Amino acid sequence: MSAEHDEVVIRYGLRDEERPGAAKIYYEAFGGKLGVILGPPETAIPILAEGFTDGPILVAFYRGEAAGLACLRFNGEDFLSIRASTLARKFGWIESLTRLIMLRLIDQSPSEGGLLLDSIAVDGRFRSLGIGRRLIEAVFDLARNRRLTQVALQVVDTNPRAQSLYERLGFTAVRTYRVPFMRSIMGFSAYTIMTKPVRQTPLPNHTGDRPRRSDGRTG
Ligand SMILES: CC(C)(COP(=O)(O)OP(=O)(O)OC[C@H]1O[C@@H](n2cnc3c(N)ncnc32)[C@H](O)[C@@H]1OP(=O)(O)O)[C@@H](O)C(=O)NCCC(=O)NCCS
């Protein structure tokens, strides 16, 4: 079953009051690998809520409730910025350095002129309604409006369902990296880079009463 078109609204940027809910969705989706770095949910969720920037995050609302996120990097803009001092408050300076290094190890960067869809997560209650697909479409709207040339993402070998979703949406696998040492740390032993070019056709006007458009521009 798919959500009706108008049941899903996508907006660019998190409001302050939405940060804890967004952090919960993010942790629920990626806790398997993030837990190693940011600790259990009671520690990690506040760190994430503080670490989300005012920048490139698309938030999907289903019937008014925050239901999903697409977290992006492009043109030097980043959805997440976790300070060393925040980690140090929770884990002490020495341990937080190790955790920061691990965070950097799994960090990905966008190519020149490209957009990196770093992560996409839909609240478990609202999966398979088409919200993930709608978020990805909004990512392409944004990329087109910013004149970016391609969208790239990474998918791990333990997530074949996500990979098949991306394939259905026109992404192509360009390279697979084997990282067997990651299996015992984060549960996956290979990841694949997938890309899809952005077609620069003019978009129909997005109008409506949303405070910020999903392409990140105001007005
Ligand atoms: C991947 C994800 C964002 C898809 O969001 P969604 O709103 O359920 O996506 P849609 O409804 O548009 O499409 C559903 C398709 O997503 C794929 N999918 C991947 N993981 C899924 C999951 N755990 N549950 C349901 N669908 C999943 C399937 O191909 C599914 O198709 P199906 O319903 O015919 O089986 C969501 O499942 C999720 O948050 N998963 C956990 C985090 C994650 O793995 N993110 C991707 C990292 S690369």
Report which of 74, 85, 89 is spatially closest to residue 216, judged by C-alpha positions: 74
Q: What is the whole-number distance in angstroms between the Cα of residue 89 and the centre of ligand 1? A: 34
pLDDT score, position 212: 55
Q: Of all atoms in ligand 1, which is nearest to the CA of residue 161?
A: 19
Instruction: Give percent above pLDDT 70 in the chain.
Output: 92
What's the pTM?
0.89
SS3 state of residue 67: strand
Residue nearest to atom 9 of ligand 1 (CA): 132
- Domain residue ranges in the chain: 5-149
Q: Read off the pLDDT of residues 31-45 as tens digits, 9 standing for 90 and up.
A: 988 888 999 999 999
Q: How far is the CA of 2 from the centre of ligand 1 (A)?
A: 13
Structural tokens at position 195: 């890309």
Superfamily for the 5-149 domain: Gcn5-related N-acetyltransferase (GNAT) (3.40.630.30)
Question: Closest residue (by CA) to atom 1 of ligand 1?
Answer: 162
Amino acid at 146: R
Give 128 Cα–ligand 1 centroid separation in angstroms.
Answer: 6
Q: Ligand 1, closest atom to CA 134?
A: 12
* CA of 94 relative to ligand 1 center, distance in Å: 37
Q: What is the pLDDT of residues 124-155, one digit of tens each?
A: 999 999 999 999 999 999 999 999 999 999 99
Model confidence at 187, in pLDDT bands (50, 70, 90)? Answer: confident
Helix (H) or strand (E) holding 138: helix 131-145
Instruction: Tell me, in angstroms, the distance from the centre of ligand 1 to residue 47's CA.
Output: 25
Average pLDDT over residues 63-79: 97
- The predicted model gives 8-23 an average pLDDT of 97
* Long-range contacts formed by 7-10: CB under 8 A, 24+ apart: 7/62, 7/63, 8/60, 8/61, 8/62, 8/67, 8/129, 8/130, 8/131, 8/134, 9/60, 9/61, 9/210, 10/58, 10/59, 10/60, 10/61, 10/134, 10/135, 10/138, 10/214
CA angle 101, 163, 73 (to 5 degrees): 45
Q: How much is the pLDDT for 209? A: 40
Do residues 179 and 190 touch, judged by C-beta distance below 8 A?
A: yes
User: Which protein residues touch ligand 1 with a CB less than 6 Å away?
Assistant: 29, 119-122, 127-133, 155, 159, 161-162, 164-165
Quick one: which atom of ligand 1 is closest to the CA of 126? 7
- Range list of H helices, 4-92: 19-38, 41-51, 84-91
